[in-house]
Amino acid sequence: MIKPFPIFSISYLSIHHQNRLIFVHRICMNMPPKTRTIRQKVIISASPEDVYDAFMDPKKHAAFTGGEASGSSEVGGEFSAWDGYITAKNLDLKNGQKIVQEWSTTEWPDGYPPSRLEITLKRVPEGTELTLVQSKVPADQADDYDEGWHEHYWNHLREYFQKKRKKKAAMKD
71 domain-assigned:
yes
- Write the CATH number for 73: 3.30.530.20
Q: What single string gives the DSSP state of each residue in 70-123? A: EE--STT-EEEETTTTEEEEEEEEETTTEEEEEEEETTPPTTPPPEEEEEEEEE
Supply the pLDDT for residue 131: 98
81 domain-assigned:
yes
The residues near 96 (Cβ < 8 Å, ≥ 6 apart) are 47, 48, 49, 51, 52, 121
Cβ-count burial 65-100 (b if 16+ within 10 Å, e if not): bebebebbbeeeeebbbbeeebbbbbeebeeeeebb
Distance, in Å, from the CA atom of 125 to the CA atom of 40, rounded to the nearest integer, reads 19
69 domain-assigned:
yes
Supply the pLDDT for residue 166: 85
Distance, in Å, from the CA atom of 138 to the CA atom of 113, rounded to the nearest integer, reads 9
Peptide bond into 6 cis (omega under 30): yes
Distance, in Å, from the CA atom of 145 to the CA atom of 105, rounded to the nearest integer, reads 10
* Tens digit of each residue's pLDDT, the chain (173 residues): 444 444 444 444 444 555 555 554 444 455 667 999 999 999 999 999 999 999 999 999 999 999 999 999 999 999 999 998 999 999 999 999 999 999 999 998 888 899 999 999 999 999 999 999 999 999 999 999 999 999 999 999 999 999 988 888 788 76
Supply the pLDDT for residue 168: 80
Sign of CA dihedral 51, 52, 53, 55: positive
What's the domain range around 57? 34-141
Query: What is this structure's pTM?
Result: 0.79
Distance, in Å, from the CA atom of 99 to the CA atom of 77, rounded to the nearest integer, reads 12
Number of domain units in the chain? 1
155 domain-assigned:
no
Coil, helix or strand for 64?
helix
Coil, helix or strand for 38?
strand
16 domain-assigned:
no
83 domain-assigned:
yes
User: What is the tens place of the pLDDT at every residue in 86-113?
Assistant: 999 999 999 999 999 999 999 988 888 9
5 domain-assigned:
no
Supply the pLDDT for residue 173: 65
146 domain-assigned:
no
